[in-house]
Amino acid sequence: MSDKNPSPEALARFGGAIALPTVSNVDYAKTDFAPFDAFKAYLKGAFPLFHKRTELTVVNNYALVYRWKGRDAGALPLLLCAHYDVVPVEAGTETAWTHPPFSGAAAEGRVWGRGALDVKCQITAQMEAAEGLMAAGFIPPRDIYFAYGHDEEVGGAEGAQKIAERFAAQGLRFEGVLDEGGSVITDAIKGARCPLALIGIAEKGHASYLLTVTDKGGHSSTPPAHSALGRLARLIVRVEGHPLPRRLTPALRAMLVGIKDALGGGFRLAVGAPGLFKPVILKALAKTPATNALTRTTFALTMAKASDAPNVLPQQAQALVNVRLLHGDSSESVRRYIEKLVGREATVQVILPHEPSKVSPADSGVFIKLKALVSEVFPGAIAAPYLVTGGTDARKYYAVSDNVYRFTPAQLSTQEVQTMHNTNESLSIENYGKMILFYRRFVEGE
């Protein structure tokens, strides 16, 4: 099997998908659906064979489910997932891009634009892989489903959630589910001697907590010692200064055992020695925000509001703490914790809680197959289970499978990962070729 770079035609098909600005809106009713309609039509035109050989069901107008029938109708199917909505480009930053954000340009060895990494690459790479196999007359050993949501970036309630509900209503079960999440990261952990292929087996939960401090208000020329905003500021410092303790969860332990051979002396020794294990490891992981987030429930103060005028004392000051929940904590236990911290100074309101996901096994047939494909497509990388710190659509599919994994088969540096939701989002052409190969081998099966 060749892992040569994809053809110019394949890159153009990928670029064409990026060029459609399918930006999802937090307020679903305000979404501009015209690009979404165009995207559906675009896929049909760009991948005609795929659309001929699969059966398409459109769920809730925009979520796409394709079924590619396999040889064995009795075998549980596999599900490949992705989403085709993207986050907006921050106004005023467009000109900072090397190539315009909705250009889909293939230049300097990369394909550029919003969605290149997150995550239109998965959709077009999966379709390229399937079309390649279809053209060769291949029929997969079992049914393959492809499910593409259209609102993952704003919670997935209208896309993946509806797809999962539909599958469940049909009584469908899947042998395994593969969505976005981890990747092959060249510099994931300091001291790692080789790239780490981090395959997400679980994801953290999330919730926001609105802190509200109230006061009499009045004219700012005769202020009290502390306005509502001043009192709120002290609470904010208190919350940030009292993070929840670090913990070694089963998912984190599985990851550390998986990557220990990639790590240098001290770290490796610590993973092997249970007594030493916890304190040394947790301290080491605390050194960067990305690894610190694996060890604890995190607090991020993200929004605040007080008076609307310079000379008006606020009657109400509010701040929002966005919390990512580690397994073992819940939105309720964290509410109690924050309430205790702020005491009577503020009220605490929980907004949109999502509990931590179930944990998929790191020894299922599908996981073992993913590991084998990593060695084949990314020689030299070590694959390990991983806790995804962000939220994805994948969690919704626990309703129809126990084996839900989160892995985008591309080899990235931390710096490349940071272009997601950011300026200069792009994917190397070499990586795009590897993605196509990975999905091809995944579909080919046993």
Residues found near Zn ion in the complex (CB under 5 A) = 118-119
Give the CA radius of gyration of the chain: 23
Is the CB of 210 or the CB of 420 nearer to Zn ion?
420
Please name which of 264, 314, 1, 279 lies closest in space to residue 129, comparing C-alpha atoms.
1
Neighbours of 223 (CB within 10 A): 11
Catalytic residue set: 85, 152
Residues in the chain: 446
Is the CB of 83 or the CB of 327 nearer to Zn ion?
83
For helices 429-444 and 365-377, angle between their N-to-C axes, nearest 10 degrees: 140
The rounded distance, in Å, linking the Cα atoms of 297 and 247 is 9
Is the CB of 7 or the CB of 414 nearer to Zn ion?
414
Is the CB of 118 or the CB of 131 nearer to Zn ion?
118
The rounded distance, in Å, linking the Cα atoms of 364 and 351 is 35
> Is 321 within 8 Å of 352 (Cβ atoms)?
no
Closest approach, Cβ 118 to Zn ion, in A, equals: 4
Tokens describing residue 341: 């911290």
Q: Which strands form 106-107's sheet, in the order they lie side by side?
A: 106-107, 110-112, 426-428
Is the CB of 211 or the CB of 293 nearer to Zn ion?
293
Closest approach, Cβ 23 to Zn ion, in A, equals: 13
Is the CB of 111 or the CB of 119 nearer to Zn ion?
119
Q: What are the CA-CA distances from residue 44 to residues 66, 119, 282, 383 (Å)? A: 12, 18, 49, 35
The rounded distance, in Å, linking the Cα atoms of 93 and 100 is 10
Task: Provide the terminal-to-terminal Cα distance of the chain, rounded to the nearest Å.
Answer: 15
SS3 content of the chain, % helix, strand, coil (to 5): 40, 25, 35
> Is 396 within 8 Å of 156 (Cβ atoms)?
yes
The rounded distance, in Å, linking the Cα atoms of 132 and 123 is 14
Q: What are the CA-CA distances from residue 15 to residues 23, 114, 427 (Å)? A: 16, 10, 11
String of DSSP letters for 16-56: HHHTS--B--SSGGG---HHHHHHHHHHHHH-HHHHHHSEE
Is the CB of 341 or the CB of 420 nearer to Zn ion?
420
The three-class DSSP label of residue 134 is helix
Is the CB of 331 or the CB of 408 nearer to Zn ion?
408
Closest approach, Cβ 195 to Zn ion, in A, equals: 21
User: Can you say how many angstroms the Cα of residue 390 is from the centroid of all Cα atoms in its chain?
Assistant: 5
β-bridge pairing 144-149 and 63-68: antiparallel
Closest approach, Cβ 229 to Zn ion, in A, equals: 36
The three-class DSSP label of residue 278 is helix
Residues 6 or more apart whose CB falls under 8 angstroms from that of 241 comprise none
Closest approach, Cβ 186 to Zn ion, in A, equals: 20
